[in-house]
Amino acid sequence: QKLGFYFVNNSVVTGITSKDSKNFHFMIYGCENITLDAVKISAPADSTNTDGVHLGKSTDVKILNIDIATGDDCVSLGDGSRKVLVQNVKCGPGHGISVRNLGRFTKEDNVEGLIVKNCTISDTENGLRIKTWPAGPGTITITDMNFEDVTMVSVRNPIIIDQEYCPWNTCNKKVIITINFEDG
């Protein structure tokens, strides 16, 4: 089972090991000013839906000094993730670090202010990834993304932006492109 932090503010979580969780290892939702530091996360490389740390609708999140080895995303950011620092994280195996599954629902919050720095991603399917649903009903903006000093070793797709993410072929892959022009 996952360890969930829901609507927790001004907190530090440190020194915990999560092994073989059947779902996300750590869930951070609706939190503000929360830090995960010196945590260890592991699951078999062939396990599914075992994200190391997943967060959504949270502001000022720090994920520091963590070793994550799972069969899924090491760190995944959902809608409403703001001011997130991922630093000194060792990721792999797994799917890398992802901004994920955006645009599927009508009401989603923007993602802004992600910094990934001094991280090592090894033996993963992806390195740094953004994935959005095609022709989904939601409109979302992703801004202020910064990646610094990220080392990748044996990564299949080092940087990937997938705007047609459609697991199990369950969605309309018709892509709708909207261009807005402003005077000036």
Cα dihedral 57, 29, 47, 159 sign: positive
72 belongs to the catalytic site = yes
> HSE (CB half, 13 Å, CA atoms) of 177?
3
List the catalytic residue out of 51, 72, 73, 79: 72
Q: Closest Cα partner for 102 from 165, 58, 174, 169?
A: 165
- Please state, in angstroms and rounded to a whole number, the distance separating the CA atoms of residues 154 and 173: 30
Whose tokens are 């997938």? That residue is 162
Q: 139 Cβ partners below 8 Å, 6+ apart?
A: 103
Q: Which residues contact 144 (CB under 8 A, 6 or more apart)?
A: 112, 113, 114
Which of the following is catalytic: 95, 109, 123, 149?
95
Indicate which residues carry an active-site annotation.
72, 95
